[in-house]
Amino acid sequence: MKYSRFGQKFTSESGIVNLMADLGQALNVNPDIIFMGGGNPAKIPAMESLFAEKLQQVIDDDQARHKMLGVYQSPQGDEVFLDLVAKLLCDEFGWPVTAKNIAVANGSQSAFFVLFNMFAGQFIDGTKKTIQLPLAPEYLGYADVGLCEDFFKATQPTIELLDNREFKYHVDFDNLQIDDNTGALCVSRPTNPTGNVLSDEEIDKLDVLAKANDIPLIIDAAYGTPFPSIIFEDVTPHWNDNTIVVLSLSKLGLPGARTGIVVGNEKFINDFTNANSLTCLSCGNLGPAIAKPLFENGEVLRASRDIVKPFYRQRAKIAADGFRAAMGDLPFYIHKPEGAIFLWLWFKDLPITSQILYERLKERGVLVAAGHHFFVGLDDSWQHRNECIRVTYCLDEKTLQQGISLIADEVRKAYAGE
């Protein structure tokens, strides 16, 4: 068989494909592997019980069960669910939105494939535009969704060294370049992979730049507010007619339901719905069916605030303290944990690449994510990109400590030249 250019691009190896292969191997085939690389949320018994209760209510209701399992949903998504999401965003943040500002997608990854290719790539007039990432490292799932090459451009961040072996990335506005070939700005908040949370000032500056250049600002809030609220900084959620916010039920604890939520102006949501219909016909019903009662009574906010956030905040502290103890005096730093479900580790002047470290750890039964995959849109010249790894802290404490110990041992060997 001979594949088209599209076929060759989307069947080739990539960072996200390899990561999901590792995830599938660890979670479904070889559960003895210490899986510290992927983005699967933790098993939180209180949340699973809550979802089971809501799902059982749907199953016990003949009409609701049939609508969940036996009916194509409207292209934009379940109308009741859209109204409930809009009401929550309006009541919680004061956003002037209605159901016409909301669309459902089969997961945020699917949503980003559609919306990125709406704003970047080859245009009818022959021009080509890119998605600008103001801060890299950024989510590796973005890297290969573009339908043409050189789809992303990114700005190398500034690095602030902090106390307690921590550091933080900041947007380098002096070197952020936006021109006629920029189709949109995109940031994740909190950022996957680093847990970085852009400040209100940084978001406001990006908003001003986007409006001045007549391009949208896209905010990936899969880990952020109002749900699942895995964000440890006090920041203000941002939206206006020129902003597109993408939310998700995955990190709330429903990754299998594949439910993404897109918030934008009415014209964009209408266009997005048309494009989304062509790629997947209709959105899945499972996520909205489970979530509707949670949105109706505000339980989604209480669960995010009282169950999900404290769980991950505690795990982040356990993991960070564990790495500090295990690494001793090695030249390593942890990106300040401000949200999401990962720690981002920087091994300054590491004698081997993060890819080699990944391979050595895999041989020892520990899976991490090699850092170079996440520097989407940057060239290969920055040595820093080869000195970092991403690890999840979603494991139980005993397994997490085992993984930390093995990582520290392998890093120590690398610095010793072994």
Domain boundary assignment for the chain: 5-45+302-415, 72-298
What single-letter DSSP state applies at residue 255? G
Residue 26, pLDDT score: 47
The CATH number given to 72-298 is 3.40.640.10
Residue 38, pLDDT score: 77
Helix (H/G/I), strand (E/B), else coil: 185: strand
C-alpha triplet 36, 38, 41: angle, nearest 5°: 95
Residue 279, pLDDT score: 84
How far is it, in rounded angstroms, from Cα 227 to Cα 332? 32
Is residue 160 within 8 Å of 167, Cβ to Cβ? yes
How far is it, in rounded angstroms, from Cα 234 to Cα 333? 23
pLDDT, averaged across the chain? 92
Entry pTM: 0.93
Cβ atoms < 10 Å from Cβ of 7: 11
- Angstrom CA distances, 307 to 82, 252, 271, 313, 346, stand at 24, 10, 36, 10, 30
- Structure tokens that stand for 132 in this block: 């600008």
Burial 218-235 (b: 16+ CB within 10 A, else e): bbbbbbbbbbbbbbbeeb
Which residue's entry shows tokens 């085992």? 402
Residue 367, pLDDT score: 93
Residue 51, pLDDT score: 96
- Plot region of 94 (φ>0 → left; ψ -120 to 50 → alpha; else → beta): left
Q: Which amino acid is at 381?
A: S
Residue 1, pLDDT score: 79
Q: Which CATH class is domain 5-45+302-415?
A: alpha beta
Residue 139, pLDDT score: 93
Residue 410, pLDDT score: 97
Q: What is the dihedral of CA 298, 304, 307, 309, to 10 degrees?
A: -160
Residue 17, pLDDT score: 57
The values of phi and psi at residue 60, to 5°, are -75, -10
Query: For the chain, which residues score pLDDT lower than 50?
Result: 26-29
Per-residue model confidence as pLDDT tens digits over 290-313: 999 999 989 999 999 999 999 999
Cβ atoms < 10 Å from Cβ of 346: 21
Helices (H), 72-171: 79-93, 108-119
